C-alpha cells in the first residue's frame, strides 16, 4: 500500500510485516525525501522532535518508519540472524522506498540505521538514492562497543530500562533481545561489512561524536579511506553516540548544509 503523505501517520507492508511510519514537511516535485533509519533500540517515536526540526532546517520532507520488532510495528522473529542489518537493507528497505514512491531519496541513518543505509547504497543499484547521512555508523565490531552492549544487557536485566522501553515498543523484549543478543553472540565478533563502502557512488556525510561509547573514529576513517565518492565528516565535541540528541543544533546545521549542496549539484546536472 502506498504511503498517504498527508495522513501524517500510517502503516505499510514491507518484508512481509506491517510497519508503522510517520511524515513531516510537505512533499514537492523535485525535492528528495529524507528517509530516517533508526538505531538498534529506536523507533519512530524515539526520534522525538528531530524529524520536525530536520524538515524545517532543510526544507525537505522527512519520512521515518519503525523496523519489524520496534515501536508499534509487527514483531520480529528471534533470535535475529547475525547478518540482520544486511537482511534489512536488501529486503524491507526497498519495499519501504517503493511505498513512499518518491523520485529521489537521501537516506539518513543512526547507528544500526546508518549501517543499513550504507549497505543498501553499496549493494543496490537504486538511482533514486542521491546521498547518505550516516550518524555514528558501525561497519565492524570493536571491543569498546561490545563492552558497552554488554553493559546495556546488565542494565536491561537489573534496572527499569525494560519499563522505559515499554513506553515506546510493543514488545520491549523483542526490541532489546533482537539487537543485544545478536551483537553479543560469539560469532558476531567477526562481523564486518566495510566492503560495501567500496561500491558507494553517491556523496555521504558522516557525523560522529568524539565521545561515542559504541565506536571509535576508526569507523569514520574506514569510510573516508574506502569511498570512491565524496565523504564529508563532522566530528562533534561533547557528543556521545547520538549526535541529533547530544548536539542537535550543530547536527541540523551540517545536514542542512549537506542537503543544500546536494540540491545545487542536482540542479547543475539538470542544467548541464
- pTM value is 0.97
CA distance 42 to 60: 22
Which three three-digit cell numbers place residue 162? 525494560
Which three three-digit cell numbers place residue 81? 540472524
What domain count does the chain have? 1
Which of these, 199, 197, 200, 205, lies nearest to 259 by C-alpha position? 205
pLDDT at 2: 84
Q: Give the distance, in angstroms, between the CA of residue 135 and the centroid of all CA atoms in the same chain.
A: 8
Domain of 114?
Answer: 5-271
**Beta sheet of 204-209, edge-to-edge order:** 9-14, 17-24, 62-65, 33-37, 105-110, 129-135, 204-209, 231-236
Q: For every one of its 272 residues, what pLDDT tens digit does the chain have, with 9 covering 90 and above?
A: 689 999 999 999 999 999 999 999 999 988 999 999 999 999 999 999 999 999 999 999 999 999 999 999 999 999 999 999 999 999 999 999 999 999 999 999 999 999 999 999 999 999 999 999 999 999 999 999 999 999 999 999 999 999 999 999 999 999 999 999 999 999 999 999 999 999 999 999 999 999 999 999 999 999 999 999 999 999 999 999 999 999 999 999 999 999 999 999 877 765 55
Q: Which CATH number is 136's domain given?
A: 3.40.50.1820
CA distance 267 to 76: 41
Cα-based distances in Å from 218 to 12, 162, 194: 36, 31, 11
Residue 202, Ramachandran bin (φ over 0: left; ψ between -120 and 50: alpha; else beta): beta
Which residues, other chains included, contact 42 with Cβ-Cβ below 8 Å and sequence gap of 6+? 66, 70, 110, 111, 113
Amino acid at each position: 500500500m502506498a504511503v498517504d503523505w498527508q495522513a501524517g501517520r500510517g502503516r505499510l507492508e514491507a518484508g512481509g510485516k506491517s510497519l508503522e511510519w510517520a511524515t513531516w514537511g510537505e512533499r514537492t516535485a523535485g525535492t528528495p525525501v529524507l528517509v530516517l533509519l533508526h538505531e538498534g533500540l529506536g523507533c519512530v517515536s524515539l526520534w522525538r522532535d528531530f524529524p520536525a526540526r530536520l524538515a524545517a532546517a532543510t526544507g525537505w520532507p522527512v519520512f521515518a518508519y519503525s523496523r519489524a520488532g520496534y515501536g508499534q510495528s509487527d514483531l520480529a522473529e528471534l533470535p535475529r540472524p547475525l547478518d540482520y542489518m544486511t537482511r534489512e537493507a536488501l529486503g524491507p528497505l526497498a519495499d519501504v522506498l517503493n511505498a513512499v514512491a518518491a523520485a529521489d531519496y537521501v537516506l539518513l541513518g543512526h547507528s544500526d540505521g546508518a549501517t543499513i543505509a550504507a549497505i543498501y547504497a553499496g549493494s543496490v543499484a537504486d538511482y533514486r538514492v542521491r546521498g547518505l547521512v550516516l550518524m555514528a555508523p558501525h561497519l565492524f565490531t570493536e571491543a569498546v562497543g561490545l563492552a558497552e552492549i554488554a553493559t546495556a544487557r546488565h542494565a536491561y536485566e537489573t534496572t527499569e530500562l525494560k519499563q522505559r522501553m515499554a513506553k515506546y515498543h510493543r514488545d520491549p523484549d523483542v526490541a532489546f533481545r533482537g539487537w543485544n543478543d545478536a551483537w553479543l553472540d560469539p560469532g558476531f565478533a567477526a562481523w564486518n561489512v566495510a566492503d560495501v563502502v567500496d561500491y558507494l557512488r553517491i556523496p555521504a556525510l558522516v557525523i560522529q561524536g568524539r565521545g561515542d561509547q559504541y565506536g571509535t573514529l576508526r569507523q569514520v576513517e574506514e569510510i573516508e579511506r574506502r569511498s570512491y565518492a565524496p565523504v564529508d565528516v563532522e566530528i562533534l565535541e561533547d557528543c556521545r553516540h547520538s549526535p541529533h540528541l547530544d548536539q542537535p543544533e550543530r547536527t541540523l546545521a551540517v545536514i542542512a548544509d549537506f542537503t543544500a549542496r546536494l540540491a545545487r549539484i542536482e540542479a547543475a546536472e539538470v542544467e548541464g
